[in-house]
Structure 1
Amino acid sequence: MRVAIAGAGAVGRSTAAELVEAGHEVLLIERDAGNVLRTGLERANWLIADACELASLEEARLQDYQVVIAATGDDKANLVVSLLAKTEFAVGRVVARVNDPRNEWLFDTGWGVDRAVSTPRIMAAMVEEAVGVGDLVRLLTLRTGQTNLVGVTLPGETTLAGRPVRTLRLPADAALVAILRGGRVIAPRQDDPLEPGDELLFVSTVDVETRLQEALRLTPPAQDTGH
């Protein structure tokens, strides 16, 4: 796969190194020649240019790349690179780095971004993941914040133990996509029984997460306050 990366700072170089090691063809576009001198990425291709300029991307022949990663330390630059990559060069997959979480709402398909990566959000998800058994945890944000990959580990005393998957009453916009059990990844079938300690992975829209928790009996039932 051919991947172009705008920005050869620490993030861009580290990403390039991983991709090169995996056998991909990588082009780094960097306007600061000093960053080129500091790297040991001899197996990557380089273009010393400003990735925000259309002429630079034309010189790079961006249309020949399957993926573009906007990895600079400037959110404005990453948005410009993303928009140009998608609208001018029809790149199939555009990934953009979000430096300031307050700007995350901008990184959507309107700016040509297929996938926004926010380091603070990822770190927060890792912290949340350690909350404990029985908690619904957001693991990954999809579709620029509208849909999440969420997970929950069933506690030892779960009332779902032994019940088949088909008995789960999930909201319309939530789907069970995998069960992790003892180092195994199980593609869930309707008759598969649930077990204590299972980690259930769901794709869910943000607005039904509370209902998903209720379906898994992770929140106490609402008390009847009627007389």
Structure 2
Amino acid sequence: MRFVIIGAGRVGLRTARVLRDEGHEVTLIEQDEAMIRRARSQEFPVVEGDGSREDVLEDAGITDADALGALTSDLNVNFTACMIANHYGCRTIMRIDEAYREGIYRKYADEVDEVIYPERLGAIGAKNALLGGTIRAIADIAPHLQVVELTVSNGAPVNGYTMGELQLPADATILAFGKRDQPLEIPNADLSLEDGDRLVVLADFDVLNEVRQLLVGETPDEAASNAGTDATSGTGGVN
């Protein structure tokens, strides 16, 4: 696949390296001379210019690209570039750096294919490392939704249930299930839940505490603490 990435800074260049390592073609757009030199020293093709200009995007190959990653720290540049790329039929990914407020997300989420917030993704990893054990946040889907992987504990209320007997809150859905030390797979109603089994759940933040209590065996206070104070305000459960 062919990708155009605007911004050769920390986020853009790392993304470009990952894509290239997987065999994809990547062209970067950048204005800063130091960043251009660094990207070219790593043998990336770089178009010098403003990524929110259509002629610059065309020079970078937007007409033949499969997707555009607008990954600069300038929200206006990113949004404008995505709108132009959309007219060329590209998948559009836009970076935001401002505080993760629901209003900002909703303003742009309907206009592009994906909105990413690198600092928040980093926070997910940091929180997982701090909490350890039975809870692992995987991704924020929207300001009020999160995908989490939960490990059933010996003291969990559902320990011993079958998947068919498991009843989660209405705003939570099981996406995958894995026995201890086994790969994740599509849930099977006849499989039993035992200590060490893992479930991947999509849940609204309003019910995430209840899901944790059921599957992990946390007390209400522990669930609220691990969810973070933002879980009750609707702005996200990973700080």
Fold shared per TM-score above 0.5 = yes
- Displacement of 1:219 in angstroms is 4.6
Distance 2:155 2:204 in 1: 27
Greater Cα offset, 52-61 or 103-112: 103-112
Q: Give the equivalent residue in structure 2 for 1:225.
A: none
- Displacement of 1:133 in angstroms is 4.4
Distance 1:69 1:105 in 2: 22
Q: How does 1:146-165 map to 2 (within 5 A)?
A: 146-165=144-163
Is this contact kept in 2: 1:174–1:203, CA < 8 A? yes
Give the SS at the match of 1:5: strand
> Which string of whole-angstrom CA distances, capped at 9 and with x for unpartnered residues, describes residues 17-73 of structure 1?
11111100111111234322223332x332112101122223334232111111112
Distance 2:126 2:203 in 1: 20
Q: CA 1:172 to 1:103, structure 2 compared with 1: closer, same or farther past 3 Å? A: closer
Compare the two structures and name the one with the higher helix fraction: 2
- Displacement of 1:95 in angstroms is 1.7
Count of matched residue pairs: 215
Distance 2:38 2:198 in 1: 43
Is this contact kept in 1: 2:156–2:214, CA < 8 A? no
Q: How does 1:14-53 map to 2 (within 5 A)?
A: 14-39=14-39, 40-42=41-43, 44-53=44-53
Say whether residues 1:118 and 2:117 are aligned partners: yes
Letter of the 1:172 partner, please give it.
Answer: A
Distance 2:151 2:92 in 1: 33
- Displacement of 1:3 in angstroms is 0.9
Q: CA 1:175 to 1:64, structure 2 compared with 1: closer, same or farther past 3 Å? A: same
Give the SS at the match of 1:126: helix
Q: Give the equivalent residue in structure 2 for 1:175.
A: 173
- Displacement of 1:155 in angstroms is 1.7
Identity of aligned residues (%): 29
Q: CA 1:128 to 1:37, structure 2 compared with 1: closer, same or farther past 3 Å? A: closer
Structure 2's unaligned 5+ residue stretches are 221-239
Greater Cα offset, 163-172 or 71-80: 71-80
Q: How does 1:1-227 map to 2 (within 5 A)?
A: 1-39=1-39, 40-42=41-43, 44-86=44-86, 88-91=87-90, 93-102=91-100, 105-107=103-105, 108-112=108-112, 114-129=113-128, 130-133=130-133, 138-142=137-141, 144-180=142-178, 181-213=180-212, 215-216=214-215, 218-220=218-220
Distance 1:134 1:30 in 2: 42
TM-score w.r.t. length of structure 1: 0.81
Distance 1:82 1:106 in 2: 16
Distance 1:150 1:78 in 2: 29
Greater Cα offset, 5-14 or 155-164: 155-164
Structure 1's unaligned 5+ residue stretches are 221-227
Distance 2:101 2:58 in 1: 28
TM-score w.r.t. length of structure 2: 0.77
RMSD across aligned positions (CA)? 2.6
